[in-house]
A and B are shown apart, each in its own frame.
Chain A
Amino acid sequence: MAAKPQFVVIGGGLAGLMTTIKIAEAGFPVQIFSTVPCRRSHSVCAQGGINASVNTKGEGDSPQQHFYETILGGDFLANQELPKGMCEAAPAIVFMFDRMGVQFNRTPEGNLDFRRFGGTLYHRTAFAGSTTGQQLIYALDEQVRRHEAGGLVQRFEGWEFLSPVSADGPRCVGVVAQNLHTMEIRAFRADAVIMATGGVGAIYGRSTNSVNCTGSAQSACYQQGAVYANGEFIQVHPTAVPGEDKTRLISEGVRGEGGRVWVPKDGKPWYFLEEWYPKYGNLVPRDVASRAIYKIVYELKLGVNGQPIVYLDVTHIPRDRLERKLAGILEIYEKFIGDDPAKIPMKVFPGVHYTMGGLWIDDRHMTNIPGLFAAGECDYQYHGANRLGANSLLSCVYGGMVAGPAAVVYAKGLTNGAYAPPPSLLEQAARREREYTARLLKMDGPENPHILHDAMGKMMIEHVTVVRHNKSLEATDSQLCELQQRWQKIGLPDRGGWANAEVLFARQLYNMLQLARVITRGALARNESRGAHYKPDFPDRNDAEWLKTTKASWTADGPRLEYEPVNIKYIEPKLRSYV
């Protein structure tokens, strides 16, 4: 081969960094793009921990058990091949981070300590204080920096991916990206591109996600022919704190350490989760807990002070234990709300949290477009209809471990020369994006893009989260179409050519609206209840008709939905119950 294959990774969270390291370890050059410096990616937010069945507590835990609970937790919608590999690799992944110097909590013997998380009866979650995600992403960022110092990795931090470049075939041959400060738009050639752009929380306006989790990048791929799978599966975390600017998560780790959920009833605390689910109690999976809280608030009208609020209580836990195990988490609450959780029960309500759906990928993490891969929260594998706590950091890292080497194998397999795209193709792609940006800059209608964003978010939270009705889903979809019309009439309050956040946001908003329709139409079509997707009119899971993956393809008339069977090779679907 004359020239070495080149790789582009989009996203510097856990998934993108792990992918980058794997490619660099194989000896190939990688360019990694991220809108924010990698170590400021959303992965820093993860508080609770990362799962691995190391069985340090002698409870008889095993990767098989982890695998089983992951599939059960996902209500059997996950294809089983990749999750099986993930659960088997988990102990080695946690050990890898341990070797990288992550400051995991320790047992008195000096071993890694593990805590309990939702959807399991085992102590399976390794944690570094209450900032596990931060510690893990720093560890990977540091290793990438080492490869950068070694000359294999080039960082493009402060660049936003705009679109993939496809050659006939189709085949992905590069990307177009824009510098957030200079606003320069450039095409980058690559033999393989790996998307690792995280979740889509911003489609719901306020969520527990970071500001840049817009899904805009995934949407751009979708609009160019990449299939988007299981869009309708969005996890709503039971314990979050709604705020003006964002919804802040109170980690499941709080319940893992003994936190209890209650509302006042007849003048006394009613621990409804413990009463309804005696076996798992406060640690039922997230979809179950969120629905229970909705029932308390909206059906039984027992919300605290008549508001959409329940208590999450740790006041019974000794302060020194709280400080040792949960300091960072409780600090967030105190910092943003002003009450001390050790003294006053926290006020929480479910909030949009995690994107189970994402770019469709095969078992090598390649999308339906050859050369375009995806890993991390932006892909759809692993979590089925509902993700178990502390399984996401794991799936992001494992996904990178599969996607990186698979991209290398793919790129090496390209016959030299025959596949090299003409340079004009890349230049054309860049020119198209420059022209589009120029058109955006000229938009001078009456609509403010941020106000449209608020409208979209409000509607999506109201109708496409915990409880879903076909009538309102239909209405939501047509309102999304209206918002798309209104988008055509936006006016950009900033037309400058330097660090113009508005023009980038206008583009993101357009892309978010496209994906919002994928989520809504997917939910409308799926007439059953499974995991995070719950329809009172179809309260049961319906395997005969719906044990299948939703696959959405972009068309000018909106998403076209198709379905494919789920791989249930290892575990037969059975009733999911936590009672």
Chain B
Amino acid sequence: MTTIRLKIRRRERPDTSGYWEEFDVPYRQHMNIISALQAIRRSPVNAAGETTKPVVWESNCLEEVCGACTMVINGKVRQACSALVDKLEQPITLEPMSKFPCVRDLIVDRSAMFSTLKKIRAWIPIDGTHNLGPGPKIAPSVQEKAYEYSRCMTCGCCVEACPQFNDRSPFIGAFAFGQVELFNSHPTGALNKYERLDAIMGQGGITDCGNAQNCVRACPKQIPLTDAIAGLGWETTKRAIHKLLK
């Protein structure tokens, strides 16, 4: 095999309609989708031999830890850097994520996820960055559990796969529950756990989850999102009852 065939869903601007364009790219051992896109940039000619504009995409770390290069590859949402060509069936289709506004080609605008992080108060309200000594002691077993949640890279795979999440629904998405779980399980974070619980109650919150479990299967970091959803479902119910009785 000397070349590989890519079929890319393109779009010039948010307000123009999308179209498919195909490319043949020289094959190299161990190549990933990023290196295929880089090859197009070096020689922006499509499979019909016509000169075209190079395809644009987002990426940064290329180690599957920054979350930037997420796209839909052969129908599955994942990171382009860790998508090895040898393991993909051809033609390889590349599409932008569908649950976020498309900016151009494979670039989407995921700022809604960052706004959600603000809404759920995904931080520990420390007194300041001056020296106040170490934090609370934490058992290794507790750390190991929390560490799983701490690896969420805001990539959006979980929400792309979720049937409840789309640009017409207020549902905030599974990653947010993972983050609430992370902060609420920390001894200091727990001091404000009700603020976070309140933020995921009501419209767009945890009760909107249909329990399809697509999210946990799509998460590249194997974050136990459904555990978080189950735990928080119970926590928020308790909180709701408590509020009612008050």
B92-135 vs A: 1/0 string, CB under 8 Å?
00000000000111010111001001100111111011011111
- Complex alpha-carbon distance, A110 and B31, angstroms: 43
**A317 on the interface (CB 8 Å rule)?**
no
What interface size band does chain A fall in? 35 or more
Contact B126–A99 (Cβ < 8 Å)? yes
Contact B140–A105 (Cβ < 8 Å)? yes
Contact A101–B188 (Cβ < 8 Å)? yes
Query: What are 7 A-B pairs at a CB distance below 8 A?
Result: A40-B66, A45-B61, A106-B137, A145-B122, A210-B62, A212-B60, A498-B104
Known pairs A244-B30, A450-B42; A496 contacts B128 (CB<8 A): no
A275 nearest CB across to chain B (Å)? 32
**A518 on the interface (CB 8 Å rule)?**
no
Contact A36–B53 (Cβ < 8 Å)? no
Q: A41 — which chain B residues lie within 8 A by C-beta? A: 60, 66
**A288 on the interface (CB 8 Å rule)?**
no
Q: A233 — which chain B residues lie within 8 A by C-beta? A: none
Query: Which residue of the partner chain B has the closest CB to A140?
Result: B129
**B22 on the interface (CB 8 Å rule)?**
no
**A243 on the interface (CB 8 Å rule)?**
yes
Known pairs A103-B143, A138-B150, A145-B118; A493 contacts B54 (CB<8 A): yes
Known pairs A106-B143, A243-B30; A25 contacts B61 (CB<8 A): no
**B138 on the interface (CB 8 Å rule)?**
yes
**A223 on the interface (CB 8 Å rule)?**
no
Known pairs A40-B60, A42-B61, A332-B64; A104 contacts B143 (CB<8 A): yes
Most buried by A among B124, B132, B144: B124
Contact B53–A496 (Cβ < 8 Å)? yes
Contact B82–A335 (Cβ < 8 Å)? yes
Tell me which residues from 303 to 358 in chain A have a Cβ below 8 Å from any Cβ of chain B. Answer: 324, 328, 332, 335-338
Stretch from B33-41, B164-172, B235-243 at the A interface = B33-41
Q: A448 — which chain B residues lie within 8 A by C-beta? A: 42-43
B137-148 vs A: 1/0 string, CB under 8 Å?
111100110110
Contact B56–A336 (Cβ < 8 Å)? no
- Complex alpha-carbon distance, A21 and B130, angstroms: 11
- Complex alpha-carbon distance, A21 and B123, angstroms: 14
3 closest A-B pairs by beta carbon, nearest first, are A110-B137, A142-B123, A98-B135
Tell me which residues from 459 to 500 in chain A have a Cβ below 8 Å from any Cβ of chain B. Answer: 493-494, 496, 498-499
Interfacial residues, chain B to chain A (CB-CB below 8 A): 12-13, 28, 30-32, 34-35, 38, 41-44, 51, 53-54, 56, 58-68, 81-82, 84, 103-105, 107, 109-111, 114, 117-118, 121-126, 128-129, 131-135, 137-140, 143-144, 146-147, 150-151, 153-154, 182-183, 186, 188-189
Contact B134–A95 (Cβ < 8 Å)? yes
B128 nearest CB across to chain A (Å)? 6
Q: A450 — which chain B residues lie within 8 A by C-beta? A: 38, 41-42
Interfacial residues, chain A to chain B (CB-CB below 8 A): 18, 21-22, 25, 36-37, 39-42, 44-45, 92, 95-96, 98-112, 128-129, 131, 134-135, 138, 142-143, 145-146, 148-149, 157, 181, 210-212, 243-246, 248, 324, 328, 332, 335-338, 401, 448, 450-451, 454, 493-494, 496, 498-499, 501-502
Query: Which residue of the partner chain B has the closest CB to A137?
Result: B66
- Complex alpha-carbon distance, A148 and B122, angstroms: 12
Contact A498–B13 (Cβ < 8 Å)? yes
A156 nearest CB across to chain B (Å)? 12
Q: B121 — which chain A residues lie within 8 A by C-beta? A: 146, 149
Contact B139–A25 (Cβ < 8 Å)? no
Contact A129–B147 (Cβ < 8 Å)? yes
- Complex alpha-carbon distance, A39 and B111, angstroms: 12
Q: B62 — which chain A residues lie within 8 A by C-beta? A: 210-211, 245-246, 248
- Complex alpha-carbon distance, A519 and B39, angstroms: 28
Q: A499 — which chain B residues lie within 8 A by C-beta? A: 13, 56, 103-105, 107
Q: A100 — which chain B residues lie within 8 A by C-beta? A: 123-124, 126, 135
- Complex alpha-carbon distance, A25 and B12, angstroms: 42
Contact B28–A103 (Cβ < 8 Å)? no
Query: Which residue of the partner chain A has the closest CB to B151?
Result: A131
Q: B132 — which chain A residues lie within 8 A by C-beta? A: 95-96, 99
Contact A244–B66 (Cβ < 8 Å)? no
- Complex alpha-carbon distance, A502 and B55, angstroms: 10
Contact B124–A149 (Cβ < 8 Å)? no
- Complex alpha-carbon distance, A133 and B84, angstroms: 25
Contact A211–B129 (Cβ < 8 Å)? no
- Complex alpha-carbon distance, A246 and B65, angstroms: 14
Contact A210–B61 (Cβ < 8 Å)? yes
Q: B65 — which chain A residues lie within 8 A by C-beta? A: 44-45, 131, 134
- Complex alpha-carbon distance, A25 and B130, angstroms: 10
Contact A22–B129 (Cβ < 8 Å)? yes
- Complex alpha-carbon distance, A99 and B124, angstroms: 8
B78 nearest CB across to chain A (Å)? 11
Contact A128–B147 (Cβ < 8 Å)? yes
- Complex alpha-carbon distance, A245 and B33, angstroms: 9
Contact A493–B150 (Cβ < 8 Å)? no
B107 nearest CB across to chain A (Å)? 6
Query: Which residue of the partner chain A has the closest CB to B31?
Result: A244
